[in-house]
Amino acid sequence: MRNYSEIENIVIIGSGPAGYTAAIYAARANLKPLLITGFEKGGIPGGQLMTTTFVENYPGFPNGIKGPELMNLFKDQAIRWGTTLLEIDAEEINLKTKPFSIKTKNELIQAHSIIIATGARANKLGVPHEKEFWSKGISACAICDGATPQFRNEELAVIGGGDSACEEAVYLTKFGSKVHLLVRSNHLKASAAMVDRVKNNDQIMIHWETELIDVQGDEWLNKLTIKRKGQLNNETINARGVFYAIGHTPNTEFLNGHLKQNSKGYLITKDGRPETSIDGVFAAGDVADSEWRQGITAAGSGCKAALAAERWLSKNNLASIISRGSKEPEKTKREGEIETSNENNFNFESLWQRGSYALRKLYHESKKPLVVIYTSSNCGPCHILKPQLKRVIEEFEGKVQAIEINIEDEQEIAKQADVVGTPTVQLFKSKTLIKQWKGVKQRHEFKNAIIKILEETSK
Ligand SMILES: Cc1cc2nc3c(=O)[nH]c(=O)nc-3n(C[C@H](O)[C@H](O)[C@H](O)COP(=O)(O)OP(=O)(O)OC[C@H]3O[C@@H](n4cnc5c(N)ncnc54)[C@H](O)[C@@H]3O)c2cc1C
């Protein structure tokens, strides 16, 4: 375990709109914040907006902006002003002694003040065969998994009656032949505009006062058992996919009851303010807000938390302020998307290429280990994983190559490769699949698997 020798001014836990906004404000106050982004315990780095398509209500973007793109901008801004990011989960926290301490898998960090911005995560239903069909037809993220080939032109279902459920149902009509929306009550709790979109879409069938009882299938889900209110017998409906949109639980487990929470687990703060039940600990965003739960409200509360922490540090004479070499930090630069390879631009030695042409060439002709990452354009976790994986590939200095396949553009390849969600990463050597990963994983998992292949080949 690495011990951070200095006591941090502010540690921010969580990298959604609340965490990044707090970081921007704390960094601009020259407090050099450390931000623990989270990794898998309570969502993914960037938070819930990484799992949505267009955010149309965040001020400043009149034409809307993709969730992952918005969160990458938040991140760039926080880094530009001097935030240090630690891509890991906070596992434990000790708020009984000062300075406070936070444990991750590898570090013990001490801090004078802490901002908790860990948001909330999607709930599950716990039906009997849920585990068996999780990722084989059941998903909690239509935006991430909707483009999967198994869902194309098939009947799909969404569970829930709020904004998320409605958004997901509308989104899924792009892929499925029909979308069943299973609503437990007799009305939709979504915004009026969203309700209109659902009701005016003839591909969506709303089942009022209906609950999911169980799921069935063989290799892949194919039926749902449902119960309608007032009916004695259960019914089955055909569906190859079911998407949960049934609310969220605040990510507070790692706090071990150190801070006051309400009956649903949300952190209690002073009325309209970010101070929690412990002096020097502040909360921002959805983790302390069971009511508004929006990007803009989370960002606003992140700002308040950072300003409150700054005042608290200065009042208690605890702030150690850094001084900047230059007034204006360097502007951020963004990497552009790479072109899809074809016979004219394909490069046998290139470390990272895109598309099935490059995949076929390297799969059949290259002797090097080959990493294939399957993505889809609106998949937030893919945005997290791609730069991580690129760094791993670069570290091997040409001994390994990677191909990116967008499963929306390359349906057949995704089907042949049995890809059932994005991101999926497959590692091949000499046309043999050595290992497969689903979802976002730590860099060392990919690295270790590649090292093992390289060691075996050099024997
Ligand atoms: C599908 C969907 C669509 C949405 N669309 C919109 C929209 O259009 N407009 C809008 O304004 N809002 C929208 N929202 C709501 C919005 O996403 C949330 O209100 C907002 O993201 C909350 O921000 P947050 O920073 O509080 O938390 P989150 O965004 O939930 O971020 C929490 C962060 O904490 C991290 N974390 C959790 N546990 C730990 C731990 N133990 N250690 C370290 N880190 C941890 C997570 O990895 C994550 O990075 C949508 C939400 C969903 C699910």
- CATH of residue 163's domain is 3.50.50.60
Q: With respect to residue 32, please indicate whether it lies within any of the assigned structural domains.
A: yes
Cis bond upstream, residue 423 (ω within 30): yes
Cα pseudo-dihedral 105, 75, 32, 292, rounded to 10: -90
Could you tell me if 300 and 155 lie in one domain?
Answer: no
Q: Residues 379, 447: one domain?
A: yes
Q: How far is the CA of 48 from the centre of ligand 1 (A)?
A: 3
| Same-domain check for residues 225 and 311 | no
Residue 169 and residue 136 in one domain:
yes
Of 213, 244, 275, which marks where a domain is finished?
Answer: 244
Q: Contact, 402 vs 352, CB < 8 A? A: yes
pLDDT at 335: 63
pLDDT digits (tens, 9 = 90+) for 236-277: 999 999 999 998 899 999 999 999 999 889 999 999 999 999
Ligand 1, atom 19, lies closest to the CA of 294
Share of the chain above pLDDT 70, in %: 98
Kind and range of the H or E run holding 181 = strand 178-182
How far apart (Å, rounded) are the C-alpha atoms in residues 301 and 153? 42
Atom 26 of ligand 1, residue of closest alpha carbon: 285
Residue reference for tokens 């708020």? 95
Mean pLDDT within 25-51:
92
What is the per-residue pLDDT across 186-204, written as a single tens digit (0 to 9) for each? 999 999 999 999 999 999 9
Do 9 and 117 reside in the same domain of the chain? yes
Q: What's the mean pLDDT when you consider all of the chain? A: 93
Query: Binning pLDDT at 50, 70 and 90, where does residue 57 land?
Result: confident
| Mean pLDDT on 291-318 | 95
Give Cα 208 distance to the centre of its chain.
30
Are 238 and 269 found together in one domain? Answer: no
Give the phi and the psi of residue 331 in degrees, each rounded to 5. -70, 150
Claim to verify: residue 28 and residue 80 sit in the same structural domain: yes
Ligand 1 centroid vs 442 CA: distance in angstroms? 20
> How far apart, in whole angstroms, are the C-alpha atoms of residue 22 and residue 404?
34
Say how far apart CA 126 and CA 105 lie, in whole Å. 29
CB atoms within 10 A of CB 412: 9
CB within 8 A of 334, min separation 6: which ones?
72, 76
pLDDT tens digits along 268-301? 999 999 999 999 999 999 999 988 888 999 999 9
Which percentage of the chain shows pLDDT scores above 90? 76
**Do 209 and 229 touch, CB atoms closer than 8 A?**
yes
Handedness of CA 223, 224, 225, 228 (dihedral sign): negative
Q: What is the pLDDT of residue 158?
A: 98
Q: Nearest residue CA, atom 30 of ligand 1?
A: 119
135 and 97 in a common domain: no
Instruction: Characterise 398 by phi-psi region: left (phi > 0), alpha (psi -120 to 50), beta (else).
Output: left
Distance 21 CA to ligand 1 centre (A): 13
The confidence score (pLDDT) of residue 60 equals 97
Per the structure, the count of domains in the chain is 3
Question: How far does Cα 258 stand from its chain's mean position?
Answer: 26
Of 34, 50, 51, 52, which is best to mutate to test ligand 1, by the most ligand atoms within 8 angstroms of its C-beta?
52
Confidence of residue 52 (pLDDT cuts 50, 70, 90): confident
Rounded alpha-carbon distances, angstroms, from residue 152 to 174, 193, 225, 239: 9, 27, 21, 11
Q: What does the pLDDT average to over 403-424?
A: 91
Looking at ligand 1, which atom is closest to the CA of residue 43? 47
For residue 346, is it within any domain? no
Residues 234 and 144 in one domain: yes
Residue 92 and residue 186 share a domain: no
Q: Which of 6-10, 255-259, 384-388 has the lowest mean pLDDT?
A: 384-388
Closest CA to 70 of 121, 137, 20: 20
Closest ligand 1 atom to residue 51 Cα is 1
User: Both 239 and 142 in a single domain?
Assistant: yes
Judged against a pLDDT cut of 80, whether residue 53 lies above it is answered with: no
382 is catalytic: yes
Say if residue 54's pLDDT is above 80: no
Measured in Å, residue 262 CA sits from the centre of ligand 1 at 19
Atom number of ligand 1 nearest to Cα 20: 25
The answer to whether position 145 is within a domain reads yes
* Domain-terminating residue out of 228, 244, 260: 244
Residue 100 or 421, more confident: 100
Residues 373 and 443 in one domain: yes
Task: Name residues contacting ligand 1 (CB within 6 A).
Answer: 13-19, 36-38, 41-49, 51-52, 55, 57-58, 89-90, 117-120, 164, 251, 254, 285-287, 293-296, 298
User: Contact, 407 vs 150, CB < 8 A?
Assistant: no
In this structure, is residue 347 part of a structural domain?
no
* pLDDT (0 to 100) of residue 1: 55
Please report whether residue 320 resides in a domain: no
Is 221 a domain residue? yes
Sheet of 235-238, strands arranged across: 210-217, 221-228, 235-238
Helix (H, G, I), strand (E, B) or coil at 101: strand
Whether the ω angle into residue 329 lies within 30 degrees of 0, i.e. cis, is: no
Ligand 1 centre and the CA of 322: distance in Å?
Answer: 30
Q: Which residues, 6 or more positions from 218, have their beta carbon under 8 angstroms from its beta carbon?
A: none
Query: Mean pLDDT over residues 116-132, rounded?
Result: 93
Give the nearest ligand 1 atom to 284 CA. 26
The conformation of residue 129, written as its DSSP 8-state character, comes to T
Quick one: three-class SS letters along 272-286? CCCECCCCCEEECHH
> Could you tell me which residues are beta bridge partners of residue 371?
402, 427
Q: What is the mean pLDDT of residues 157-173?
A: 95
Which tokens belong to 156?
């799909």
Residue 337 belongs to some domain of the structure: no
- Where does a domain end: 244, 270, 305? 244
- pLDDT of residue 110 exceeding 60: yes
Mean pLDDT of 46-52: 86
* Helix and strand numbers, DSSP H then E, in the chain: 11, 25
Q: How confident is the model at residue 322 (pLDDT cuts 50, 70, 90)?
A: confident
| pLDDT score for 126 | 95
**303 a catalytic residue:** no
Q: Residues 192-235: pLDDT tens digits?
A: 999 999 999 999 999 999 999 999 999 899 999 999 999 999 99
The domain containing residue 17 runs over which residues? Answer: 2-121+248-315
Assign residue 383 the CATH number of its domain.
3.40.30.10
DSSP E strands in 79-128: the ranges are: 84-86, 92-94, 100-103, 107-116, 120-122
Question: What pLDDT does residue 458 have?
Answer: 81
pLDDT over 90 (residue 80): yes
Q: Domain for residue 327, yes or no?
A: no
